[in-house]
Amino acid sequence: MLLTAAGSATAQQPLPPRPVLIPADSGVQQRIVLRDGSELIGRILSVGDSTVQFQSTIGVMTIHSGSIIKLANERGGSYRNGQYYFPNPNSTRLIFAPTARMLRRGEGYFSDYWVFFPGISVGLTDFVSLGGGMSIFPEASSQVMYFTPKVGIVQSPKVNFAVGALIASVPFDSDANSAGILYGVGTWGDVDNSFTAGLGYGYTNGDLASNPAVLIGGESRLSPRVSFVTENYLLPGGFVILGGGLRFMGRGMAFDLALTSFNGEGENFCCLPFVGFVYNFK
């Protein structure tokens, strides 16, 4: 009886709404998801009573309309040597520092660095984003809160400039100092292969540093699911921080594994591991 009831309940579950199938103009890429879970990248050429004509890299195929459960425009993907590279899920950041690219309005991501620093960032407009988070150290008497406003100055496919800040403080602690960094950054190249450079001025309790920190970094996509990312700093006083690692990517998410080293004033330290996770949402 239980098996019969379960089967009846399953059968009565409503099917997901069918997507509106619309032909795409030349140059527009679409992603369709079929009921068996497979995905196709290309564009719909025409829509009939019960079928669609879909063009992909392997040619034009006829697909039954009822087998399509999702249709979305694919923004930023590309084909290379017969392989499809889905959109870079974390193009607005290097390992920890930001690139000059911006989230678009309504886009956002949840991030978590070193497990203990979760945060969220949202694009308020195509040129303004706001992020923030807090530490979650177990049994700590107080936690660090941080905010990351960012404004895009120039935004184009291969040249981008932005300014922003990292603002950190320990609320409800009168002895704690507020600190952060004000920065400007530029990124050259596409979303998969780029070079980033920037200048940042640190501050503590409103006192701005007289000399800037220099950021040099970049990303190179090695395969559809793996990128090499590097992030390096020249700090006032001759201190140098070098970092690099691999970014493992899925559709809408990324997982970073990197190592950083510190050099300066006769002190050398290697290698501090970095672990980061990002999940995109719209």
Q: Are strands 253-264 and 267-281 parallel, antiparallel or unpaired?
A: antiparallel
Alpha-carbon distance 14 to 231, whole Å?
A: 49
Name which of 60-69, 144-153, 226-235 the model is least confident about. Answer: 60-69
In sequence order, what are the residues at sequence separation of 6 or more whose Cβ sits closer than 8 angstroms to the Cβ of residue 218?
94, 189, 193, 194, 195, 196, 229, 230
160 or 9, greater pLDDT: 160
pLDDT of residue 155: 96
* Average of per-residue pLDDT values in the chain: 89
Alpha-carbon distance 120 to 112, whole Å?
A: 9
Give this prediction's pTM.
Answer: 0.82
Alpha-carbon distance 83 to 221, whole Å?
A: 13
Question: Looking at the predicted structure, is the pLDDT value of residue 75 above 80?
Answer: no
Q: Domains plus CATH for the chain?
A: 2-74 (2.30.30.100), 108-281 (2.40.160.40)
pLDDT (tens digit per residue) in 127-173: 999 999 999 999 888 899 999 999 999 999 999 999 999 999 988 77
Q: Are strands 145-147 and 128-134 parallel, antiparallel or unpaired?
A: antiparallel
* 3-class DSSP assignment, residue 4: helix
* Cβ proximity of 53 and 62 under 8 Å: yes
How many angstroms from the chain centroid is the CA of residue 31? 20
How many angstroms from the chain centroid is the CA of residue 105? 14
Question: Looking at the predicted structure, is the pLDDT value of residue 5 above 70?
Answer: no
In sequence order, what are the residues at sequence separation of 6 or more whose Cβ sits closer than 8 angstroms to the Cβ of residue 95?
217, 229, 230, 231, 243, 244, 245, 256, 258, 260, 274, 276
User: Measured in Å, how far apart are the chain's first and last C-alpha atoms?
Assistant: 43
pLDDT band at 14 (very low <50, low <70, confident <90, very high): low
